[in-house]
């Protein structure tokens, strides 16, 4: 067995993760709707040998539309186009278990896996917020616990559907006139509290067996769900100590449910801001922060904190009487991260807005390529990460700089691949083929 290797995922977000990136003279403010912009970024990441790229999504308008580009192309549609523009890089789409049905989504994701030759992944979200709920005929969001109960059953149904075709169901025997063996394709006959699905899926098993399962929740319910289902976890941890604690907690939970901790990769987000010198990088960071429009940022922060915007004064710290986490039915873990961060560092609202504007709670590193590489290596070698979710502050320049200057350092240190070693996303991540619910029911058909 070779030395342990880093895994790198590219988190794509229109003009970059800093909310003011679209205001830079070099930015294309319409990149969020441009296939060509996404194709360029995917190719740059593939040339740098990234494991995968990932598209965030929400079934509601993405944030305050005055603040930054807020429209989003539907991820599975966009990834289908990127699949034919690339050859190796993994393609991960975000999709909600609260506002989809298992059959339709299982089919869409398996279709991307087929189209891409086994490079599809699913970032599983339960979706917080009343705005999304109202788009689907509900008055408000379901309870946090209810959303995770539905998500768990959703995954049960989806994996059963992917497993409803045996590996050898298609024989394509022209001589005998048999394309598929009927008893190697079975209904799932699922009946549960949230779903009743007969099956089978109307699509043969995809190249990976199952698309890679990714999760990003860090609440107690989210971590329990991740321990059962996730194969890669995206997480926001602003310090090394918090990253180490999260990493150890996840690995422990995974082992406790009888899974192999090495088969669940923890990938914290990191926002690299690169310069020839540290001073140059910090000047770019300061320029971006100066371009934040505070009126929009305060409104967005107030929404997260569940308070009225007029209670947030730019040059004062957060109010003392904010709700406790157990009173929050939305994004619990992100709420706690932001409040704890502000309290610990005694940040004013203006300072907090600046920090959140760059990475929304993810670790931001402004410095030279060596400094960024050193940070990545230190986390990787000290029990804090299996790799990173790379979130360039500005796109495409931030990705181009990372690919041309940081990746070669990681390669020279023997920490990151110089060539792809396999064809599927699971092979990039060193994970086994997806197959959860296949049992002896297929044994009688395999010998035929």
Determine whether the annotation assigns residue 144 to a binding site: yes
Half-sphere exposure of 355 (CA within 13 A, CB side): 17
- Is 219 among the annotated ligand-binding positions? yes
Q: Is the peptide bond before 396 cis (omega within 30 degrees of 0)?
A: yes
Q: Is 348 annotated as a binding residue?
A: no
Q: How far apart are CA 133 and CA 400, in angstroms?
A: 38
Instruction: Determine contact, residues 42/85, Cβ cutoff 8 Å.
Output: yes
Of the candidates 268, 271, 269, the one whose C-alpha atom is nearest the C-alpha of residue 392 is 271
Sign of CA dihedral 22, 133, 155, 335: positive
434: number of Cβ within 10 Å: 21
Rounded Cα distance, 242 and 248, in Å:
10
Alpha carbon distance 9, 56 (integer Å): 13
Would you say 126 is a known binding-site residue?
no
Pairing of strands 363-367, 232-235: unpaired
Assess contact for 61 and 131: CB atoms under 8 A. Answer: yes
Q: Is 326 annotated as a binding residue?
A: no
Query: Among 6, 4, 28, 8, which Cα is nearest to 16's?
Result: 28
Is there a binding annotation on residue 218? yes
SS3 for 345? coil
CA dihedral 360, 105, 83, 391 (to 10 degrees): 10
Torsion over CA: 391, 394, 400, 402 (sign): negative
CA quadruple 349, 350, 351, 356: dihedral positive or negative? Answer: positive
**Antiparallel, parallel or unpaired: β 212-215 and 120-125:** parallel
Q: Where is the binding site for FMN, in residues?
A: 57, 94, 144, 148, 218-219
Q: Where is the binding site, in residues?
A: 57, 94, 144, 148, 218-219
């Amino acid at each position: 067995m070779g030395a342990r290797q880093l895994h790198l995922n590219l988190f794509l977000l229109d003009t970059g993760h800093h909310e003011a990136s679209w205001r830079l003279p070099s930015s294309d403010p319409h990149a969020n709707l441009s296939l060509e912009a996404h194709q360029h970024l995917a190719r740059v990441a593939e040339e740098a040998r990234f494991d995968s790229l990932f598209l965030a999504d929400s079934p509601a308008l993405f944030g305050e539309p005055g603040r930054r580009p807020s429209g989003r192309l539907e991820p599975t549609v966009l990834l289908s186009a990127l699949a034919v523009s690339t050859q190796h890089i993994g393609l991960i789409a975000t999709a909600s278990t609260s506002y989809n049905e298992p059959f339709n989504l299982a089919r869409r994701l398996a279709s991307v896996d087929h189209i891409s030759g086994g490079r599809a992944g699913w970032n599983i979200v339960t979706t917080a917020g009343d705005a999304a709920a109202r788009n689907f005929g509900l008055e408000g969001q379901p309870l946090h616990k209810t959303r995770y109960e539905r998500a768990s059953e959703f995954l049960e149904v989806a994996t059963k559907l992917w497993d409803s075709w045996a590996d050898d169901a298609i024989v394509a025997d022209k001589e005998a006139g048999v394309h598929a063996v009927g008893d190697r394709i079975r209904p799932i006959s699922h009946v549960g509290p949230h779903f009743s699905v007969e099956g089978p899926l109307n699509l043969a098993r995809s190249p990976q067996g199952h698309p890679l399962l990714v999760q990003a929740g860090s609440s107690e319910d989210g971590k329990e769900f991740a321990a059962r289902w996730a194969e890669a976890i995206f997480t926001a941890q602003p310090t090394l100590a918090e990253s180490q604690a999260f990493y150890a907690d996840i690995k422990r939970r995974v082992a406790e449910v009888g899974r192999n901790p090495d088969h669940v990769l923890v990938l914290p987000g990191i926002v690299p801001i690169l310069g020839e010198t540290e001073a140059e990088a910090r000047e770019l960071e300061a320029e971006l922060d100066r371009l934040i429009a505070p009126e929009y940022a305060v409104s967005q922060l107030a929404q997260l904190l569940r308070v009225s915007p007029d209670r947030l004064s730019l040059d004062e710290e957060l109010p003392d009487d904010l709700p406790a986490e157990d009173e929050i039915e939305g994004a619990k873990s992100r709420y706690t991260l932001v409040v704890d961060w502000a309290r610990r560092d005694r940040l004013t609202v203006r300072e907090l807005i600046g920090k959140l504007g760059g990475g929304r709670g993810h670790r931001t590193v402004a410095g030279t390529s060596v400094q960024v590489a050193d940070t990545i290596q230190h986390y990787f070698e000290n029990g804090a990460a299996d790799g990173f979710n790379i979130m360039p502050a500005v796109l495409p320049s931030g990705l181009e700089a990372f690919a041309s200057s940081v990746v070669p350092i990681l390669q020279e240190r023997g920490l990151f691949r110089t060539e792809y070693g396999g064809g599927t996303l699971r092979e990039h991540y060193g994970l086994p083929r997806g197959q959860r619910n296949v049992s002896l029911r297929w044994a009688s058909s395999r010998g035929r």
